[in-house]
Homo-oligomer: A and B are copies of this chain.
Amino acid sequence: MSPMLPKLWFKDFSDTSFVIRGENLTPIAFLVGYISQTDKTKAYVHFVGVDPEHRSEGLGKSLYEAFETKVLDLGANHIEAVTSPANTTSLRFHEAIGFMAKDTSGSLVLPTEASGHKDFDGIGEDRVLLSKTIRAQYPIA
């Protein structure tokens, strides 16, 4: 995955990136995201990785929660991400944590029911476009 993750990224976007460490402080899961430079209301999840030996432990969910809290604080009101239409695990995960998908028709549908945007990231690289509206919870006065 090296081309997707130049080392300098971890520094340049460290305030919106998170790592979870396990035994001996070994990284077992991480998320790299950013606030769009051209639209400060938009946060984008660039990459999430979870150690195969630590799947189904809720680490991905924890990372997204940390990211959501942080970008909300920085002024974003929605989160975007993309995934491959073939990656049903990812689609189910995003659906479970409240993401919707923008269908090719432009309407919002459940991620598991979305069709991929053909060749979105290059020839053969179809993508489902995911988004989640976020907002601060204010107590009723």
Q: Which residues of A come within 8 Å of B, CB atoms?
A: 1-8, 11-16, 34-39, 42, 44, 46, 80, 82, 120-122, 125, 127
Contacts and interface: CB of A to CB of B under 8 A. Distances in A.
B4 A4 contact: yes
30 contacts: A1-B3, A2-B121, A2-B122, A2-B125, A3-B3, A3-B4, A4-B4, A5-B121, A6-B46, A6-B82, A6-B121, A7-B120, A7-B121, A7-B127, A8-B80, A8-B82, A11-B38, A12-B34, A12-B36, A12-B37, A12-B38, A12-B39, A12-B42, A12-B44, A13-B38, A14-B38, A15-B37, A15-B38, A34-B37, A35-B37
Interface of A: prevailing SS: mixed
Contacts of A5: 121
Contacts of A82: 6, 8
Copies per assembly = 2
A19 to B, nearest CB: 15
A125 B8 CA distance: 13
Nearest to A127: B7
Contacts of A2: 121-122, 125
Contacts of A120: 7
